[in-house]
Amino acid sequence: MQDEWTEKYRPKSLSGIVGNEAAARSLRHWAESWDSGHPRRKAIVLRGDPGTGKTSSALALAHDMGWDFIEMNASDHRNAASIRKVAGAGSVSQTFSPSGEFLSSSQGKRKLVILDEADSLFGREDFGGAKAIVDTIRDSSQPVVLIVNDYRELTRKSPAVRHLAESVQFSRLTSREVVRVLRGICDMEKVSVAIEALERIAQNASGDMRAAINDLQMLVEGRDRLEVSDSEVVGKRNQQKELERALSDMFAATEVREARDATMDIDMTPDELEKWIEENIPQEMRSPEELAAAFEALSKSDIYLGRTRRLQYYALWAFAKELMTGGVALARKHGPRRYTPEYRFPGYFIVLSRAKGPRAARDSVSSKLAPHIHTPKRVISKSVLPLLSVLVANDHELLVNLIKEVDLDEGDVAFLLGLEPHDEAVERVVAEAKGEPETGDGPGKPRSRATAKRSAHTF
């Protein structure tokens, strides 16, 4: 499995922050006040929407300043004891370099304390957590960064933060800025991507760089080329705010009817809704018991969906929806959820989209062969194509004659040879079969018979 590109291409320096250069400069000025020995304030709050570069800026700052850092997610360490143990202790102690060298704060050596999602402290289970953050700032001898999406909620819970910490606003990125980063990633990954596809990904991300990079990775992983049509699968991403609200209400429901009604107005079939719920159960359910119960309810829902498709009896949809909404929501046994996560686009649809091209090519070849060999397309697809693929990869003359007789196009030939439609070998053999002038360095033959043989599909 490949590394996550959001981490792989996270900026290592504040100079690499895109779209929020002014915020990065303000962050640097605050850090430099620590180096001078007279910090303006001990803490700084980085606020703004998800995916705008807040966490990346904090980590880049530590790198630029040569500081060690300790990072803590407040949504995972919620009570006062946890925050004091990790962040509080780190903010008042000396530090060591990765090599074990003692770094004295009296000599200007610093350790950056990063508290991510500091605005997500809600409910009884968070008792004392907000106060512990304030105490950490007051007692700190080290610089502290708080990262929040909702600054108003943070200051409502902890009004003291307003005068204890500076505040820097991060704005959503423009599509042009997102495209610039995506193009750089494609260049480094040696992936050819149509600019229109990158623009579509950027627009769907709505200024969220992390979402855009995740979408790009899902679409191109394992490939070396991405066409505009391949990006259609993310066309609804982040444009369906009503879906996000509905999922949030559904997962937070405490009654079956409440969970079911939350998704009542969503314009999608139960099969589509099930994929969204399935993708995001791990985001919502934390304990193994809750995960097991949620997926058990979803598996029962899937049984009803299967019966609906098989019997064409759509009244069964009602049972499926009760299980996939109410059954999943009631799987939570440990009180209210900690925070509302960012809902992930179903990976199922990504895989389905990436298989769309090969499926269409297989259907095209089967349709063209069917009248010639008097065999149903279904049988050709399952039994004939695997053998034919091997034969044409090893018999150039057979391939040329097949193109002539059946009128195969570049897409059909590419499918049989296991190559891309724009591959030079495909273009040459089709041109030869159609009697067009030869190109390349061979007598109208594929560039590498061995390559074609190695690339033969197994269906």
Strands 111-116 and 68-73, by their bridges, are parallel
Bridge partners of residue 89, in order along the sequence: none
Q: Give the dihedral sign, CA 448/450/451/455.
A: positive
Residue 282 has pLDDT above 80, yes or no: yes
Domain ranges of the chain: 5-170, 175-233, 241-353, 356-455
Instruction: Give the fold, CATH level 3, of 5-170.
Output: Rossmann fold (3.40.50)
Bridge partners of residue 209, in order along the sequence: none
Rounded CA separation 248/113 (Å) = 31
Residue 92 has pLDDT above 90, yes or no: no
Give the lowest-confidence range in 153-167, 183-197, 298-312, 318-332: 153-167
Q: Which pLDDT tens digit goes with each residue over 166-197?
A: 999 999 899 999 999 999 999 998 888 888 88
Q: Given this model, what pLDDT does residue 458 score?
A: 33
pTM above 0.75?
no
Task: Identify the residue whose tokens are 């000599």.
Answer: 107
% pLDDT > 70, the chain: 76
Q: Which of 63-67, 70-74, 369-373 has the highest mean pLDDT?
A: 63-67
Give the lowest-confidence range in 5-14, 126-135, 279-288, 289-298: 126-135
Give the lowest-confidence range in 118-132, 170-184, 366-380, 390-404: 118-132
Give the lowest-confidence range in 8-22, 36-50, 118-132: 118-132
Q: Which pLDDT tens digit goes with each residue over 212-269?
A: 898 888 888 777 787 777 666 665 544 456 777 888 889 988 899 899 888 887 767 8
Q: What is the arithmetic mean of pLDDT over 148-159?
A: 80
Task: Provide CATH code, domain 175-233.
Answer: 1.10.8.60
Common-topology check for domains 5-170 and 175-233: no
